[in-house]
Amino acid sequence: MASRRDAPAGPAPVVVASGLTRLYAVSEREAGLAAALRSVLRRSVRQVRAVDGVTFEVGPGEIVGFLGPNGAGKTTTLKMLAGLLHPTEGRAEVLGHAPAERRPEFLRQITLVTGQRSQLQWDIPAADSFELHRAVYRIPPARYRRILADLDAMLDLGPLLGKPVRNLSLGERMKCEVAAALLHEPRVLFLDEPTLGLDVVAQRRIRSFLADYNRRTGATILLTSHYMADVQALCRRVIVIHHGRLLFDGLLEALAGRLLPHKVIVVQPSDPAADLRPYGEVTERAPGEVTLRVPRAAAPAVAARILAEVAVDDVSILDPPIEDVVEQIFSAGRAPESGAGLRP
């Protein structure tokens, strides 16, 4: 496997994080009145590394999944890249700008969307919030109408624009949140849990829209999500961090190959009573379907044996669910032995 240093030169990266670190001073004390009184005279402060020396690059037009458990440092990293937080150590660069300087020419080219914070005014129609964004970013009226028409075509915003935001469902509000964040046509999107709390249909619509927006505009997207369906649908490459440290940077499909030495074979036997235990470890039984875990290298031969020896309606060989792979990374708390921090 070649490292980035050995790879041929390509387009300049759009997003650069080099040794990015963010420290927080956290006050601590024991419970009780006596401890509270002591803390008035002498406070106990602990340094917490929310992000610890993270290094990666994102190229033009990439959609990269940024994965990690709660408290891993994902949101803190995105806030440093968006200019909301200053790095304690290291360097952040987006589109050639230092985000912490928050220059207007930088802010006009990026956006940050979070599923936990609203940028729309609660008691006025979404259309009025859009007009406010138009004024803030000084978007000419003709250009604004063209952009809004494009977003309406992709997100079906028409029925929502006249409603006060407080009367929108969560899925409708998130569609408007995403549209508002894209009115100034940013070149870089930092998306922090954009489908958080949405139902399956709304999640699918947001994913479809983001994929379409990326194809149309070539925008670069860095996406965090706890819904692996988001990542699998949108991202070829993922970055995994845990306890503020980078554990993996590479192709999504490579996670399973590196970390889980088995494949999943899903069998639909013609006879529901068929015993498939001789062919592998039975991990799940459902009506008309049995799931086996087998060594990765042996999967083709095992599937061939099943087809030859058992009456079946269907046999599928699959990679393990990506959730299992990511969970193994988190439980190990360390990078895979080969290729950590490298892109294949």
Binned at pLDDT 50, 70 and 90, residue 110 comes out as very high
The pair of three-digit structure tokens given for residue 74, joined into one six-digit string: 């994902």
In a domain, residue 220? The reply is yes
pLDDT, residue 116, reads 66
186 in the same domain as 79: yes
- pLDDT of 96 reads 95
pLDDT at 32: 75
pLDDT at 341: 42
- Boundary residue ending a domain (255, 281, 303): 255
Instruction: Return phi, psi of residue 87, to 5°.
Output: -65, 140
Residue 70 and residue 145 in one domain: yes
Residue by residue, what is the 3-state secondary structure of 146-191?
HHHHHHHHHHCCHHHCCCEHHHCCHHHHHHHHHHHHCCCCCCEEEE
Query: Worst-scoring range by mean pLDDT, 23-32, 66-75, 145-154, 198-207?
Result: 23-32
- pLDDT > 90 in the chain, percent: 55
How much is the average pLDDT of 66-83?
Answer: 92
Rounded Cα distance between 155 and 179, Å, is: 8
Question: 210 and 311 share a domain?
Answer: no
Q: Are residues 239 and 220 in the same domain?
A: yes
Residue 62 lies in a domain: yes
Is the predicted pLDDT of residue 43 greater than 90, yes or no? no
pLDDT at 121 over 90: no
Instruction: Look up the CATH number of the domain holding residue 221.
Output: 3.40.50.300
- Phi and psi for 204 in degrees, rounded to 5? -65, -40
Do residues 207 and 286 both lie within one domain?
Answer: no
Q: How far is CA 221 from CA 43, 182, 186, in A?
A: 42, 12, 10
Examine the domain organization and report whether 184 and 241 are in the same domain: yes
pLDDT at residue 3, rounded to an integer: 41
Lowest-confidence range among 103-112, 134-143, 196-205, 237-246?
196-205
Q: What is the mean pLDDT of residues 274-297?
A: 92
Residue 268 structural domain? 261-319
Distance, CA of 125 to CA of 22 (rounded, Å) = 38
- In this prediction, residue 5 carries a pLDDT of 43
Report pLDDT for 130: 94
Is 43 within the bounds of a domain?
Answer: no
- Statement to judge: residues 227 and 287 lie in one domain: no
Q: Are residues 214 and 266 in the same domain?
A: no
Per-residue confidence (pLDDT) for residue 197, from 0 to 100: 75
In this predicted structure, the answer to whether residue 64 has a pLDDT above a threshold of 50 is yes
The pLDDT value recorded for residue 9 is 57
Check whether residue 201 and residue 281 sit in a common domain.
no
Do 106 and 250 share a structural domain?
yes
pLDDT band at 259 (very low <50, low <70, confident <90, very high): confident
The total number of structural domains in the chain stands at 2
Confirm whether 234 is domain-assigned.
yes
> What pLDDT is recorded for position 214?
94
Residue 239 tokens, joined: 């970055």
Measured at the CA of 334, the angle between CA 15 and CA 293, to 5 degrees, comes to: 105
Mean per-residue pLDDT, 121-136: 92
Do 218 and 101 lie in a common domain? Answer: yes
Q: Is the pLDDT of residue 334 over 70?
A: no
Amino acid sitting at position 212: D
Region 225-249: mean pLDDT is 89
Q: In whole numbers, what is the pLDDT of the chain averaged over residues? A: 86
Instruction: Average the pLDDT over 275-294 and give the result.
Output: 93
In this prediction, residue 50 carries a pLDDT of 92
Tens digits of residue pLDDT in 88-104: 999 999 999 999 999 99
**Are residues 94 and 198 both part of a single domain?**
yes
- At 33 the pLDDT is 76
The answer to whether position 139 is within a domain reads: yes
**pLDDT over 50 (residue 190):** yes
| pLDDT above 80 for 322 | no
Least confident segment among 43-52, 211-220, 331-340 = 331-340
- Which candidate, 262, 332, 274, 283, places its Cα nearest to that of 307? 274
Is 115 or 140 the better-scoring residue by pLDDT? 140
We report the CATH number of the domain holding residue 315 as 3.30.70
> Residue 184 domain-assigned?
yes
What does the pLDDT average to over 193-218?
Answer: 87
E strand or H helix at 78: helix 74-82
Query: What average pLDDT score do residues 322-329 get?
Result: 74
